[in-house]
Amino acid sequence: MVTMADVARRAGVSAATVSHVLNGTRPVLPGTQQAVLDAIDELGYTPNTLARSLVTSRTRSVGLAAPATGNPHFAEILQGVEGTALEHGYGLLIADPHDDPSHERTVVQLLHERRVDGMIIAPSPAPDALLGYLGQHEVPTVFLDRLVESPAGSGFRHDQVCVENTAPMASLVTHLAERGHRRIGLVAGLPGLSTTAERITGYRHGLARAGLPYDERLVAHGDSRTDAAEAATHRLLSLGAPPGALVTADNAMTVGALRALRDRGLSVPDDLALCCFDDFSWADLFTPRLTVIAQPSKEIGATAVRLLLERLASPHRESRTVRLPSAFVHRTSCGCPSGAPRGEGPEPESESESESEPESARKGPES
């Protein structure tokens, strides 16, 4: 087995210098560093990660707990997390909490017991047990996509990254209202999530801006799942006065809504106009093409890694919440002509950072 001493002899340096190159513990002259890297390649040396972690108290690994299965948005977030982690020399351990608070607490503990240097988590609607564990063990943590509040007086400092939700959702509603729609339904996400609350707020703001009343019967929760969104859409379409336009609050629920519309033989946008929060790779391939709010999903993941590395470097710095802009992508499911230019609509909001906590079927437009 090739050892660090073998690499040092081939490169003509000390074993300590090889260690500094591998661990980044001290600056090394570029020429010396290249000699060490060349020797590693020539000899096929593989560092002993376990032994290195015992010396440095770091495993150069990150734990990711997010509902990554079956949700294109989180699949893209995962790509952003993994790519940026690898770019900085960190490996990734992944678990899916399934938005179940008890399972979430279990998988986070299992990841922590594997000595990850820090955690990136998309929290469930009831993260109290999770926050208690993370705070008790002082785990460096970044929450992504959904925001949480630390328990009062806990002293647990964490960072967060998400997108702007309220104004972009309002823009979808006002766009449909400008098309003449007066009954606009919403398939909302899982209750208890900050994204759900903020997007419902945006829906209400959009109605108010258009001079339309809020009717709670036009809001049905699809619980951020395809099957639940399908059932929620059926409930909305079964109203005595069903909506003539619909907004779905994430891409998994968009698929469920489209299934319900297909089951009822309804056509978009001829029978019902549709706008969606979340873009995904095949949204431009549907007939009609979907008008959406596009989130920078990969950048959410990449930003989460960068925040975690900052937290590891400065464990006691103040908490940060970063909000990234989302963009209105204008296609044809809203009922606009097929020649409408893509990208038409509100300008993307500028990136912002905030220390604040989360904000708590008929044919044609209605007259």
Report the C-alpha gap between 124 and 101 in whole angstroms.
6
Helix, strand, or coil (residue 156): coil
Q: What is the pLDDT of residues 71-104, one digit of tens each?
A: 788 989 999 999 999 999 899 999 999 999 999 9
Q: How confident is the model at residue 181 (pLDDT cuts 50, 70, 90)?
A: very high
Report the C-alpha gap between 280 and 282 in whole angstroms.
6
Q: How confident is the model at residue 347 (pLDDT cuts 50, 70, 90)?
A: very low
β 141-144/291-294 pair status: unpaired
Domain range 4-56, CATH class: mainly alpha
Taking CA atoms, 151 is separated from 120, 127, 130, 162, in Å, by 19, 10, 11, 20
Q: Residue 233 in contact with residue 217, Cβ under 8 Å?
A: no
Residue limits of CATH 3.40.50.2300 in the chain: 61-163+298-324, 166-295+326-350
- Residue 142 bridge partners (DSSP): 120, 159
What is 292-345 written as a DSSP string? EEEP-HHHHHHHHHHHHHHHHH-TTSPP-EEEE--EEE--STTS--TTSPTT-S
**Helix ranges, the chain (H):** 4-11, 15-23, 30-43, 49-56, 72-87, 101-113, 128-136, 166-178, 194-209, 226-237, 251-263, 297-313
Look at residue 344 in the predicted model and tell me its pLDDT.
40
Q: How confident is the model at residue 46 (pLDDT cuts 50, 70, 90)?
A: confident
| H or E element at residue 69 | none
Q: Please tell me the pTM assigned to this model.
A: 0.79
Q: How many CB atoms lie within 10 A of CB 207?
A: 21
Look at residue 40 in the predicted model and tell me its pLDDT.
85
Q: What is the pLDDT of residues 271-318, one digit of tens each?
A: 999 999 999 877 777 778 999 999 999 999 999 999 999 999 999 999
Report the C-alpha gap between 201 and 20 in whole angstroms.
52
What residue type is assigned to position 53 of the chain? S
User: What CATH number belongs to 166-295+326-350?
Assistant: 3.40.50.2300
Helix, strand, or coil (residue 224): coil
Report the C-alpha gap between 199 and 352 in whole angstroms.
18
Report the C-alpha gap between 98 and 32 in whole angstroms.
48
Read off the tokens for 140. Answer: 């460096």
Name the CATH topology of 61-163+298-324. Answer: Rossmann fold (3.40.50)
Q: What is the pLDDT of residues 185-196, one digit of tens each?
A: 999 999 999 999
Report the C-alpha gap between 68 and 88 in whole angstroms.
22
Report the C-alpha gap between 234 and 352 in whole angstroms.
38
Averaged pLDDT for residues 119-127: 96
Residue limits of CATH 1.10.260.40 in the chain: 4-56
Long-range CB contacts (within 8 A, 24+) of 38-45: 38/11, 39/7, 39/8, 39/10, 39/11, 40/7, 42/10, 43/2, 43/6, 43/7, 43/10, 44/2, 45/2, 45/3, 45/4, 45/6, 45/7
Look at residue 366 in the predicted model and tell me its pLDDT.
44
Q: What is the pLDDT of residues 223-271, one digit of tens each?
A: 999 999 999 999 999 999 999 999 999 999 999 999 999 999 999 999 9
Q: What is the DSSP letter of 221?
A: E
Please name the residues in contact with 262: beta carbons below 8 A apart, sequence gap of 6 or more: none
pLDDT at position 346 over 50: no
Residue 249 CA from chain centroid, whole number: 13
Read off the tokens for 168. Answer: 């972009």
Report the C-alpha gap between 257 and 229 in whole angstroms.
6
Averaged pLDDT for residues 182-206: 97
Read off the tokens for 83. Answer: 């790519």
β 327-329/291-294 pair status: antiparallel
Please name the residues in contact with 181: beta carbons below 8 A apart, sequence gap of 6 or more: 243, 244, 245, 273, 365, 366
Helix, strand, or coil (residue 93): strand
End-to-end CA distance of the chain: 79
State the residue for tokens 């007939």: 287
